[in-house]
Amino acid sequence: MEGRSLADETQSNPLAGESSGAPLEPVAPAPGSAADPRSDKGREKERKKLEKLQRKAEKKADKAAEKAEPAEATEGSSDKPEEEPKREGRLARLRFSKKKDMPGGLWLKCESCSQVIFRKELEEKGRVCPSCGFHFTVPGKERIRMTLDEGSFREHFADIEALDRLQFMDAQPYAEKVRRATERSGQKEALLCGLGTILGRPVVLAILDFNFMGGSMGEVVGEKIALAAELAVREKRPLLIFTSSGGARMHEGILSLMQMAKTCAALQTLNENGGFSICVMTHPTTGGVTASFASITDLILAEPGALIGFAGPRVIATTLKVELPPGFQRAEFLLERGMIDAIVKRSEMRETIAKFIDYSKGARVSHGGGALRPKGRS
Ligand SMILES: [Zn+2]
């Protein structure tokens, strides 16, 4: 089954698994990686460049290591302490550069251009790669900060918790996994939801956070999307959803797949009540989330370079035994084929959404309140 294989792939993804304390690790293969035409020469050049960069920035890193937040350091607790690399010098640097993902580390490699980036610099730039403009996954709470007007967020439905109805167990019990994710993130589920304003326009905001079990959709996420849609009807506000997800939460079996129908029904009700909804698909949005509520809002936006699809590219390539076209399942590819309405840079997201909200009001006024209702019904 597609769902099953997708889950497998999500699990093998460093971002989705238990080790995902840090939000900035590389995800999924880079565009066109199926072919991977990079030559040895290119690689060597890249490696040299990388080494040079690290040497140059070492002094900067040493300073920053002292200032680095203690929370970050504890995340990589299984690794050596942060101060050690500067003492061991070259040896440590080598180990450092070989490591692909560095939870809590000072440096990370851009999955799009392979440039080594100073984590602090990336965070200051809104988690957009300074060299190629790749939009990294943003943790839910940070997304709220960068989207809404300061101090306007009022969280709703924060206390709904997952039930382990199937007593599911793989490497560890599902209940234990949820408990750990809660501990790490300080939130009870993958979906954050509440009221707020964007440049003065009131919205209901729902954010699927990849840092919580890969942003997977279980019963709670489905319920909270439904509640958010109802809240949008009640409050007469547009519903704004940001997604980043590995798909349905397989630990909840069929119950997680049922959320696809449930969330779609909730959005349909919102639609019938003259509501307006926007979904912004961010990197990565896959599986049952793409196949349900994320794809049926009035407007579907995406961030540049975001991976958006149902089954992952590796699964498709190996199942169908075909070579996938370059840029497959990236936002730009989908825009060309009409799957999404627009690609919006993170730096322009607030203004663009505010503009669309204004347009939606205009549309409803000029059509006597029925513009968003399906045609052919009386
Ligand atoms: Zn980059």
At 276-320, the pLDDT tens digits run 999 999 999 999 999 999 999 999 999 999 999 999 888 899 999
pLDDT at position 313 is 85
Comparing 30 with 116, the larger pLDDT belongs to 116
- Other C-beta atoms lying within 10 Å of the C-beta of residue 202: 15
Q: Are 255 and 219 in contact (CB under 8 A)?
A: yes
Taking residues 81-99, what's their average pLDDT? 45
pLDDT at position 328 is 94
Q: Distance, CA 161 to ligand 1 centroid (Å)?
A: 37
- Other C-beta atoms lying within 10 Å of the C-beta of residue 224: 25
pLDDT-derived band of residue 23, with 50, 70 and 90 as boundaries? very low
Residues 39 and 150 reside in one and the same domain: no
Q: Distance, CA 132 to ligand 1 centroid (Å)?
A: 4
The pairing of strands 239-245 and 201-208 is parallel
Comparing 30 with 46, the larger pLDDT belongs to 46
Q: Are 333 and 313 in contact (CB under 8 A)?
A: no
Residues 312 and 172 reside in one and the same domain: yes
Comparing 366 with 346, the larger pLDDT belongs to 346
Task: Tell me whether residue 375 is in a domain.
Answer: no
Q: Distance, CA 33 to ligand 1 centroid (Å)?
A: 15
Tokens 């967020």 sit at which residue? 153
Q: Are 215 and 245 in contact (CB under 8 A)?
A: yes
Q: Distance, CA 3 to ligand 1 centroid (Å)?
A: 30
pLDDT-derived band of residue 10, with 50, 70 and 90 as boundaries? very low
User: C-alpha dihedral over 110, 111, 115, 117, to 10 degrees?
Assistant: 10
pLDDT at position 5 is 41
Contacts of 318 (CB under 8 A, 6+ apart): none
Q: Distance, CA 204 to ligand 1 centroid (Å)?
A: 32
Beta strands across the sheet bearing 154-155: 154-155, 191-198, 201-208, 239-245, 277-285, 299-302, 342-343
> Cis bond leading into 173, ω under 30°?
no
Residues 223 and 179 reside in one and the same domain: yes
Residues 229 and 322 reside in one and the same domain: yes
Q: Distance, CA 278 to ligand 1 centroid (Å)?
A: 27
Q: Distance, CA 49 to ligand 1 centroid (Å)?
A: 14
Q: Distance, CA 244 to ligand 1 centroid (Å)?
A: 19
Comparing 4 with 130, the larger pLDDT belongs to 130
- 8-state DSSP, 319: H
Average pLDDT, the chain: 80
pLDDT-derived band of residue 79, with 50, 70 and 90 as boundaries? very low
What span, in angstroms and rounded, lies between the C-alpha atoms of 23 and 244?
Answer: 12
pLDDT-derived band of residue 39, with 50, 70 and 90 as boundaries? low
What span, in angstroms and rounded, lies between the C-alpha atoms of 215 and 223?
Answer: 14
Comparing 159 with 12, the larger pLDDT belongs to 159
- 8-state DSSP, 214: G
Q: Which domain holds residue 251?
A: 140-366
The number of folded domains in the chain is: 2
Task: Tell me whether residue 22 is in a domain.
Answer: no
pLDDT at position 123 is 92
Q: Distance, CA 136 to ligand 1 centroid (Å)?
A: 9
pLDDT at position 105 is 80
Last residue of a domain, one of 83, 99, 124: 124
pLDDT at position 104 is 63
Q: Distance, CA 236 to ligand 1 centroid (Å)?
A: 40
- Other C-beta atoms lying within 10 Å of the C-beta of residue 185: 20
Distance of CA 377 to the CA centre of its chain: 37
Last residue of a domain, one of 124, 152, 170: 124
Q: What is the pLDDT of residues 112-162, one digit of tens each?
A: 899 999 999 999 999 999 999 999 999 999 999 999 999 999 999 999 999
Q: Distance, CA 9 to ligand 1 centroid (Å)?
A: 23
Q: Distance, CA 333 to ligand 1 centroid (Å)?
A: 18
Lowest mean pLDDT segment, chosen from 38-52, 98-112, 328-342: 38-52
Contacts of 161 (CB under 8 A, 6+ apart): 178, 188, 189, 220
pLDDT at position 35 is 41
pLDDT at position 188 is 96
What span, in angstroms and rounded, lies between the C-alpha atoms of 323 and 313?
Answer: 10
Q: Distance, CA 273 to ligand 1 centroid (Å)?
A: 43
Q: Distance, CA 375 to ligand 1 centroid (Å)?
A: 44
Task: Tell me whether residue 371 is in a domain.
Answer: no
Q: Are 226 and 189 in contact (CB under 8 A)?
A: no
Q: Distance, CA 46 to ligand 1 centroid (Å)?
A: 13
Q: What is the pLDDT of residues 221-278, one digit of tens each?
A: 999 999 999 999 999 999 999 999 999 999 999 999 999 999 999 999 999 999 999 9
Q: Distance, CA 135 to ligand 1 centroid (Å)?
A: 8
Q: Distance, CA 30 to ligand 1 centroid (Å)?
A: 11
pLDDT-derived band of residue 362, with 50, 70 and 90 as boundaries? confident
Residues 223 and 318 reside in one and the same domain: yes
Q: What is the pLDDT of residues 311-361, one digit of tens each?
A: 988 889 999 999 999 999 999 999 999 999 999 999 999 999 999 999 998
Tokens standing for 69? Answer: 């937040």
What span, in angstroms and rounded, lies between the C-alpha atoms of 227 and 243?
Answer: 16
Taking residues 65-81, what's their average pLDDT? 39
What span, in angstroms and rounded, lies between the C-alpha atoms of 73 and 356?
Answer: 41
> Which has the closest alpha carbon to 251: 219, 206, 288?
219
pLDDT at position 3 is 41
Q: Which helix (H) or strand (E) holds 69?
A: none
Reported pTM: 0.71
Q: Say whether pLDDT at 55 is over 70.
A: no
Residues 250 and 284 reside in one and the same domain: yes
Tokens 């304390």 sit at which residue? 21
Residues 212 and 89 reside in one and the same domain: no
Q: Distance, CA 115 to ligand 1 centroid (Å)?
A: 6
Residues 120 and 168 reside in one and the same domain: no
Query: What CATH number does the domain containing 295 carry?
Result: 3.90.226.10
By three-state DSSP, how is residue 58 classified?
A: helix
Comparing 194 with 17, the larger pLDDT belongs to 194
Q: Which residues surround ligand 1, an ion (CB under 5 A)?
A: 110, 112-113, 115, 129, 131-132, 134
pLDDT-derived band of residue 92, with 50, 70 and 90 as boundaries? very low
Q: Distance, CA 131 to ligand 1 centroid (Å)?
A: 5
Tokens standing for 64? Answer: 């920053």
The pairing of strands 191-198 and 154-155 is antiparallel
Q: Are 302 and 344 in contact (CB under 8 A)?
A: yes
Query: Residue type for 190, please?
Result: A
Comparing 354 with 15, the larger pLDDT belongs to 354
Task: Tell me whether residue 18 is in a domain.
Answer: no
What span, in angstroms and rounded, lies between the C-alpha atoms of 303 and 294?
Answer: 13
What span, in angstroms and rounded, lies between the C-alpha atoms of 357 and 237?
Answer: 10
What span, in angstroms and rounded, lies between the C-alpha atoms of 67 and 56?
Answer: 19
